[in-house]
């Protein structure tokens, strides 16, 4: 057996075993703590809401187990099972150019993968989310969203994939450096264009109309020296009962966005506190650091692919009979997450560290108790479990567990 095949099977099996083990820990831990609200939340969260969050998290985790098993089986089918090889031979049989064949191969593979995942997405939206009262999406809206997403993928993805394959074929041994520069340029352009070109295709963004809240927010922005193109309210309630807030855009095109569900839940001082936390990510350069890390890892990945692309054992070890630039790219995109999976705790730790730092920044700008009450309401509204398994949380969670985060914030009050 090809050495790469052996390593791939070992890492893929190790990933699945770890995923199932962590999921089982999460479910058992939440069940064991379902009967009682943690003492630090007993005055703010009712037992019924605590149990709803527990049941919701358990249901999502069980669905995640199904998704992990299905994803593992599908990856085996696409690679060692010959799925990609069959698709490759079908496109090669049409006798088109390497560039056209490669572009069609990658796009069709992505479309087929999306179609296979559709039943689980439908179940998540119309069964799981609906069972806990979060789903507001109609089937017609779901279909419309899916068609829009597919159209955007084709409109944006087709020229991008073609350009990448063209560079791979014509730029010599350092093609990976040119592809990296193209990828950076595309990413920055997409970040800049998303809030004004793509996002409005799915949601309405209304300028914040509450004069009192607008003044409070503007004072916060002035204190922190942050400039944006405005504060907007997104009609998130037409799809989900979950609430959120975020920044979007790049450079002078930044926007502050609040879900309408969040606006109806939080008081003005709490909204200001949530915004102060998000501002902390920018003022402490978390966004820039994540971008630099993403660009660095993508450069390393492309350099690795530059080495693998000329190795026959790379294709043979992963089920592709005919070497090609587009085949190497597709295989790499599919299998690299398998080999980097065990870096997840490091990435999660870094993200949680940034969350603590942003909380500290927010407590220096506003009353920390306002952020505490805002977070408690958001935990309740989104049915976020208050008792995650510590090991599961350390491995996956980008945000600290509720009890730890709240206790650190209370130290600033």
Spatial contact of 218 and 195, defined as CB atoms under 8 Å apart: no
3-state SS class at 255? strand
How many CB atoms sit inside 10 A of residue 337's CB?
12
Q: CB neighbours of 310 closer than 8 A, spacing ≥ 6?
A: none
Active site residue 145: no
Instruction: Tell me the chain's radius of gyration from C-alpha atoms.
Output: 23
DSSP state of 135: B
Vertex 33, ends 29 and 36: CA angle to 5°?
170
The token pair at 63 is 């669905």
Specify the DSSP element, H or E, that contains 126. none
Phi, psi at 232, each rounded to 5° = -125, 150
The dihedral of CA 221, 222, 227, 228: what is its sign? Answer: positive
Catalytic residue of the set 88, 270, 278, 380: 278
Active site residue 210: no
Which string of b and e fits 31-61 if b means at least 16 CB within 10 Å? eebbeebeeebeeebeeebbbbbbbbbbbbb
- Which DSSP string corresponds to 199-246? GGGT--EEEP--HHHHHHHHHHHHHHT---S-EEEE-GGGTBS---EE
Whole-number Å distance between alpha carbons of 404 and 165? 47
Specify the DSSP element, H or E, that contains 259. strand 255-259
The token pair at 251 is 């450079």
Catalytic residue of the set 88, 270, 359, 389: 359
**Residues forming the active site:** 278, 359
């Amino acid at each position: 057996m090809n050495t790469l095949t052996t390593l791939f099977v070992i890492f893929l099996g190790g990933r699945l075993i770890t995923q199932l083990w962590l999921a089982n820990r999460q479910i058992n831990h939440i069940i064991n703590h379902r009967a009682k609200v943690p003492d630090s939340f007993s005055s703010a969260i009712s037992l019924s809401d605590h149990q709803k969050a527990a049941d919701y998290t358990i249901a999502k985790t069980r669905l995640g187990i199904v998704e992990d098993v299905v994803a593992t089986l599908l990856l085996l089918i696409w690679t060692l099972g010959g799925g990609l090889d069959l698709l490759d031979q079908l496109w090669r049989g049409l006798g088109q150019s390497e560039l056209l064949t490669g572009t069609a191969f990658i796009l069709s593979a992505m479309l087929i993968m999306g179609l296979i995942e559709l039943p689980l997405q439908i179940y998540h939206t119309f069964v799981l989310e609906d069972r806990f009262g979060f789903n507001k999406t109609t089937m017609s809206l779901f279909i419309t969203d899916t068609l829009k997403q597919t159209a955007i993928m084709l409109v944006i993805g087709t020229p991008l994939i073609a350009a990448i394959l063209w560079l791979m074929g014509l730029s010599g041994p350092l093609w990976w450096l040119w592809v990296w520069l193209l990828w950076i340029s595309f990413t920055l352009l997409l970040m800049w264009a998303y809030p004004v070109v793509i996002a409005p295709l799915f949601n309405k963004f209304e300028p914040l109309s509450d004069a009192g809240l607008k003044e409070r927010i503007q004072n916060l922005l002035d204190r922190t020296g942050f400039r944006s193109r405005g504060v907007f309210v997104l009609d998130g309630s037409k799809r989900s009962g979950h609430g959120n807030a975020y920044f979007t855009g790049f450079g002078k095109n930044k926007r502050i966005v609040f879900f309408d569900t969040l606006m109806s839940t939080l008081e003005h001082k709490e909204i200001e506190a949530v915004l102060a936390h998000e501002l902390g990510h920018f003022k402490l350069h978390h966004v820039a650091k994540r971008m630099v890390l993403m660009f660095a890892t993508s450069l390393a990945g492309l350099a690795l692919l530059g080495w693998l692309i000329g190795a026959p054992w790379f294709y043979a070890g992963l089920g592709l009979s005919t070497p090609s630039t587009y085949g190497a790219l597709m295989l790499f995109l599919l299998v690299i997450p398998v080999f980097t999976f065990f870096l997840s705790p490091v990435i999660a730790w870094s993200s949680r560290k940034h969350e603590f730092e942003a909380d500290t920044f927010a407590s220096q700008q506003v009353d920390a108790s306002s952020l505490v009450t805002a977070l408690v309401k958001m935990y309740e509204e989104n049915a976020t479990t208050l008792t995650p398994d510590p090991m599961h949380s350390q491995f996956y969670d980008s945000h600290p567990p509720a009890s730890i985060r709240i206790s650190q914030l209370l130290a600033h009050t």
